[in-house]
Homo-oligomer: A and B are copies of this chain.
């Protein structure tokens, strides 16, 4: 069986490497005599590379080669990935991608194209790198009505937060260390501002709840404003701060958000450190199930890509029913209409403020930290609609809000 790889970067070269490394097992699992990488599309040259002879620069060679029935897209970015993938599907070729941007922005269109052309479109590697998550949600939890999904979906920010929590580093120092270790890019915006996690929670939400969710409908906040003081308050509360993407059913609609959140130390997500990812799925039969592993990396991500290639090879003559429906207006509820609880760090005349907070919110848990100035403290709000909380907070005079972070119960 011949396949083609489009994009010979980290994941594309990893895919070729994993196929070479475990050739025998992969062929056997694919129910094929062999799985052969026939072409690798990349505009760059790779002199001396083990796959140099397979590099091509013309996409049409892949498109027009009837022997190539499975195409792996690991180029990244929306264009020309979207056009190339569309053409392949229209030609009846199955496509496997690791490109989360593509799936989050165009998944609905590409799934429809796959269906219309009796081909498969798979993207296990687009969320959680090597962690099995798309197929387990689709198949293993198929007996469940899924109520909620939440995860540590970005390794870069999890590494930074781990350094802030356990090595008392500042955000800036931790980011620099992540860059030195190759965990963060020179321009780290997509990671630290939460955009990468947002694409992944969109894919998970679409899969779990059945309608396409676009990134721009999901409120997204990164970790750049997290300070060592917030980390200390989280510790005194009995937990840690993690960047979480999460979504849940609210009637016929869903709430979905990406932001830092306080979670309790005994949560399975709290023990997920460094560049690891973990996705928790809450089903009405299984309860909580969680999936943990490396969220990035050449061979880990390629492991997921090749699992999809194997699945496509086993379903080469027929479509595997899989996917979700089109997006719907007002499907994702507005952030301010969602119920939430917050950690609020404030400055002001403590005794007077505590009295007013109690008047407004009732009994709240008040947090302290070593080394805090006398006029600084923090508290945890009850769970209410964010718009209601905002209104109530607005009535407390003389209170300067220094930070506010979601409090979650996973």
Residues of chain A at the chain B interface (Cβ within 8 Å)? 18-19, 21-22, 25-26, 29, 31, 124, 130-132, 135-136, 139-145, 266, 268, 270-273, 276, 283-294, 297, 299-300, 302-307, 309-311, 314, 321
Q: Are B303 and A286 in contact (CB under 8 A)?
A: yes
Q: Report how far A394 CA is from B64 CA in the complex, Å.
A: 72
Q: Which residues of B contact A272 (CB under 8 A)?
A: 268
Known contacts A285-B299, A293-B287; A135 and B143 CB within 8 A of each other: no
Q: Report how far A136 CA is from B135 CA in the complex, Å.
A: 8
Q: Which residues of B contact A132 (CB under 8 A)?
A: 132, 136, 139-141, 289
The contact of A303 among B135, B144, B305, B309, by CB within 8 Å, is B144
CB distance from A368 to the nearest CB of B (A): 24
Q: Report how far A18 CA is from B283 CA in the complex, Å.
A: 11
CB distance from A263 to the nearest CB of B (A): 12
The contact of A297 among B18, B145, B287, B305, by CB within 8 Å, is B287
Q: Report how far A279 CA is from B364 CA in the complex, Å.
A: 38
Count chain B CB atoms within 10 A of each CB in A21, A124, A305 and give the residue with the most.
A21
Q: Which residues of B contact A29 (CB under 8 A)?
A: 142-143
Q: Are B310 and A142 in contact (CB under 8 A)?
A: yes
Q: Report how far A287 CA is from B276 CA in the complex, Å.
A: 11
Known contacts A22-B143, A271-B270; A289 and B287 CB within 8 A of each other: no
Q: Are A306 and B140 in contact (CB under 8 A)?
A: no
CB distance from A124 to the nearest CB of B (A): 7
Q: Are B139 and A22 in contact (CB under 8 A)?
A: no
Q: Which residue of B lies closest to A271 (CB)?
A: B271
The contact of A136 among B136, B286, B297, by CB within 8 Å, is B136
Q: Report how far A287 CA is from B295 CA in the complex, Å.
A: 11
Q: Are B307 and A143 in contact (CB under 8 A)?
A: yes
Q: Report how far A25 CA is from B285 CA in the complex, Å.
A: 13
Q: Report how far A135 CA is from B309 CA in the complex, Å.
A: 16
Q: Are B136 and A31 in contact (CB under 8 A)?
A: no
Q: Which 4 pairs from chain A and chain B are nearest by CB?
A: A132-B140, A143-B306, A271-B271, A289-B293
Known contacts A286-B294, A289-B292; A310 and B271 CB within 8 A of each other: no
Q: Are A299 and B271 in contact (CB under 8 A)?
A: no
Q: Are B273 and A285 in contact (CB under 8 A)?
A: no
Q: Report how far A142 CA is from B144 CA in the complex, Å.
A: 25
If A132-B140, A288-B293, A292-B292 are given as contacts, then 6 extra A-B residue pairs at C-beta distance below 8 Å, sorted by A number, are A130-B287, A131-B286, A268-B271, A285-B302, A286-B303, A289-B294
Q: Are B140 and A22 in contact (CB under 8 A)?
A: no
CB distance from A300 to the nearest CB of B (A): 5
CB distance from A378 to the nearest CB of B (A): 25
Q: Are A293 and B290 in contact (CB under 8 A)?
A: yes
Q: Which residues of B contact A307 (CB under 8 A)?
A: 139-143
Subset of 19 A-B contacts with CB under 8 Å:
A18-B285, A21-B285, A22-B285, A25-B142, A25-B144, A26-B142, A132-B140, A140-B304, A141-B307, A143-B309, A266-B273, A268-B276, A268-B292, A285-B303, A286-B293, A286-B303, A289-B293, A289-B294, A291-B291
Q: Which residue of B lies closest to A288 (CB)?
A: B293
Q: Are A130 and B289 in contact (CB under 8 A)?
A: yes
Q: Report how far A25 CA is from B321 CA in the complex, Å.
A: 13
Q: Which residues of B contact A305 (CB under 8 A)?
A: 143
Q: Which residues of B contact A139 (CB under 8 A)?
A: 132, 135, 307, 310-311
Q: Which residue of B lies closest to A320 (CB)?
A: B314
Count chain B CB atoms within 10 A of each CB in A131, A145, A290, A297 and give the residue with the most.
A290
Q: Which residues of B contact A287 (CB under 8 A)?
A: 130, 293-294, 297, 299-300
Known contacts A285-B130, A287-B297, A299-B286; A140 and B145 CB within 8 A of each other: no
Count chain B CB atoms within 10 A of each CB in A144, A310, A314 and give the residue with the most.
A144
